[in-house]
Amino acid sequence: MKKGSKNLSKKALFITFEGIDGCGKSTQLDLAAKYLETKGIDLIKTRDPGGTPLGCKIREILLNYDGNVASYCELFLYLADRAQHVEEKILPALKLKKLVLCDRYVDSTMAYQGYARGLGAEQILNLNNIVAKSLMPDLTFVFDVSLETSRQRVGDKKDRLESEADEFHKKVREGYLDLAEKFPERIVIIDANKDISEVEKNVIEVLNKRVL
Ligand code: TMP
């Protein structure tokens, strides 16, 4: 822990940033990290998939493979990445009482593979508990944007998932909203249609209550 860092043992330590593609979560993760660092918080930033060297290889397949990918193959690749990520990076950081800010985690798997691919969110949560040693986030931000805004922000250069039809992304978004109803203590919905600094303000309000 950095000199002067706060002891976070009773506060949210594992925080995830979620939402449909183009929702602005990665920008908000960076802004949140900067804010927390100014408050003396010792943290790491990471992402899912691709938070480890092995995970980067899995991410490359997941986002860029241009042939057919069976839904369960996709699911287990995301879970394989997560198993490595949790064991190699997230749990060791949490053990050191570092705050972990993670760009996507299990809610992405539930929203994308569970709701949008139709594999079932509950089954995915069970599988995640196996591969991720039951590690769940203490706090999750879901950045909610309209499909139109998401499509505009993603632009024309799309990866394999971004290239899915609007109907798929609509189901992902509905999945997130449903998850937020199921886990109200953990998931906070942020209206991400607003401009960056407005969204940042809303995130900081939550961080002030739940982390600092
Ligand atoms: P990113 O571009 O936000 O890093 O996310 C990579 C893509 O992978 C994004 O389209 C969401 C998707 N994804 C899933 O489908 N399932 C998952 O479990 C995760 C973590 C991401």
Confidence tier at 10 by pLDDT (50, 70, 90):
low
Q: How far is the CA of 181 from the centre of ligand 1 (A)?
A: 21
Closest ligand 1 atom to Cα of 116: 15
**30: its two tokens:** 């960076």
Tell me if 166 is assigned to some domain: yes
Q: Given phi > 0 = left and psi -120 to 50 = alpha, else beta, which region is 129?
A: alpha
The whole-number pLDDT of residue 168 equals: 98
- Identify the domain containing residue 180 by its residue range: 14-210
- To test ligand 1's pocket by mutation, which of 71, 74, 108 has the most ligand atoms within 8 angstroms of CB? 108
Tell me if 3 is assigned to some domain: no
Burial 79-116, CB ≥16 within 10 A → b, else e: bbbbbbbbeebbbebbeeebbbbbbbbbbbbbbbbbbb
Tell me if 4 is assigned to some domain: no
Q: How far is the CA of 44 from the centre of ligand 1 (A)?
A: 19
Q: What are phi and psi of 83, to 5 degrees?
A: -55, -45
- To test ligand 1's pocket by mutation, which of 76, 112, 171 has the most ligand atoms within 8 angstroms of CB? 112
Tell me if 5 is assigned to some domain: no
Tell me if 42 is assigned to some domain: yes
Tell me if 182 is assigned to some domain: yes
Q: What percent of the chain is predicted at pLDDT more than 70?
A: 95
List the CATH number of the domain containing 49: 3.40.50.300
- Total domains present in the chain: 1
Average pLDDT value over all residues in the chain: 95
Tell me if 73 is assigned to some domain: yes
Tell me if 164 is assigned to some domain: yes
User: For 79-110, how does the pLDDT look when each residue is reduced to its tens digit (9 = 90+)?
Assistant: 999 999 999 999 999 999 999 999 999 999 99
11 contact partners, CB below 8 Å, separation of at least 6: 138, 210, 211, 212
* Residues at CB less than 6 angstroms from ligand 1: 21, 47-49, 78, 104, 108-109, 112-113, 161-162
Dist CA 75 CA 70 (whole Å):
9
* Length of the chain in terms of residues written: 212
Q: How far is the CA of 126 from the centre of ligand 1 (A)?
A: 19
Element (H, E) at 91: helix 91-95
Dist CA 210 CA 41 (whole Å):
13
Average pLDDT over residues 144-169: 96
> Is residue 166 pLDDT above 50, yes or no?
yes
Q: Which residues pair with 17 in a beta bridge?
A: 103, 141
